[in-house]
Chain A
Amino acid sequence: NAGVTQTPKFQVLKTGQSMTLQCAQDMNHEYMSWYRQDPGMGLRLIHYSVGAGITDQGEVPNGYNVSRSTTEDFPLRLLSAAPSQTSVYFCASSLQRNNSPLHFGNGTRLTVT
């Protein structure tokens, strides 16, 4: 089982560049989300989706866009990267049942110079 797959694993961007972090899951999960992890900050929710065509903002959405055209994919777009977006990004997914665990990808380490 592939689970939650994130690409790329590492990325270096210059300030102002754009890029898309990819996330795909093969578990037919309705719920998908993006977190960023910064030292001493834990994980903070950026955006989430409860199904295809439905997205909403989390705690730290500014500077990021998402879309959910299929159940499997939930890309995260940085339109104009800033050094403050240097972080490790995690995608996670789950069934919508409350007792279903959240499955995480292995992360994308992004550096913006």
Chain B
Amino acid sequence: AQSVTQPDIHITVSEGASLELRCNYSYGATPYLFWYVQSPGQGLQLLLKYFSGDTLVQGIKGFEAEFKRSQSSFNLRKPSVHWSDAAEYFCAVGASSGYSTLTFGKGTMLLVSP
């Protein structure tokens, strides 16, 4: 069965510093990988996705993620964090057969300090 691990429950980053959120997945074939962000009281918004091709994918709000098959990882990065990036971030893995197969990680809460 597929699974997603986000090792960090909380991360605190200073505003302007760089950010990396970790995501490891378990999946038997080539996965579809996603990062979502959830602001308080809101639904989830898609940041970026990887289906195939270039392993470095660019998303919205200045985020990027790199797919590393050898490490089964899909880490999310941002070079300079803004206070508005404080939110909860979810990594998800799915199959090509559709969204019913999507499995979410438990989330990482990002706190941004001034």
User: Which A residues lie at the B interface, using CB under 8 A?
Assistant: 4, 31, 33, 40-45, 48, 50, 56, 58, 90, 92, 94, 96, 98-99, 101-102, 104-107
**Can you show 14 pairs from A to B with CB atoms below 8 A apart?**
A4-B43, A31-B98, A33-B100, A42-B90, A42-B107, A43-B90, A45-B102, A92-B44, A98-B51, A98-B98, A101-B49, A105-B43, A106-B42, A107-B42
Residues on A with beta carbons closer than 8 Å to the beta carbon of B102: 45, 102
- Nearest-neighbour CB distance to chain A for B93, whole angstroms, equals 12
User: A99 near B51 (CB under 8 angstroms)?
Assistant: yes
Residues in A neighbouring B42, C-beta threshold 8 A: 106-107
A-B pairs with CB below 8 Å: how many?
57
- Given A98-B32, A101-B46, A104-B43, the answer on whether A56 and B106 have CB atoms closer than 8 Å is no
**B12-41 toward A: CB 8 Å interface, digit per residue (1/0)?**
000000000000000000001010000001
Cβ-closest 7 pairs across A and B: A104-B43, A42-B104, A42-B106, A43-B104, A101-B46, A104-B44, A48-B100
Q: Are A106 and B41 in contact (CB under 8 A)?
A: yes
Chain A neighbourhood of B90, CB < 8 A: 42-43
Known pairs A40-B106, A42-B106, A43-B104; A98 contacts B45 (CB<8 A): no
Q: How large is the interface on B (under 10, 10 to 19, 20 to 34, 35 or more residues)?
A: 20 to 34
Report the minimal beta-carbon distance from B75 to chain A, rounded to whole angstroms: 17
Query: Does B96 sit within 8 A of A, measured CB to CB?
Result: yes
Cβ distance B108 to chain A, nearest Cβ, rounded Å: 11
A31 to B100 CA separation, bound complex (whole angstroms)? 9
A58, closest chain B residue (CB):
B100
Q: How far apart are the CA atoms of A45 and B2 in the complex, in Å?
A: 14
**Closest-CB distance, B18 to chain A (whole angstroms):** 25
Across the interface, which residues of B come within 8 angstroms of A102, CB to CB? 34, 44, 46, 99, 102
A50 touches B98 (CB 8 A): yes
Could you tell me the distance between the alpha carbons of A44 and B92 in the complex, rounded to whole angstroms? 11
What per-residue 1/0 map shows which CB atoms of B46-60 lie under 8 Å from chain A?
100101000000000
**CA distance in complex: A80, B51 (Å):** 40
Q: Which residue of A lies closest to B91 (CB)?
A: A42
Query: Is there an interface contact between B46 and A90, defined as CB atoms closer than 8 Å?
Result: no
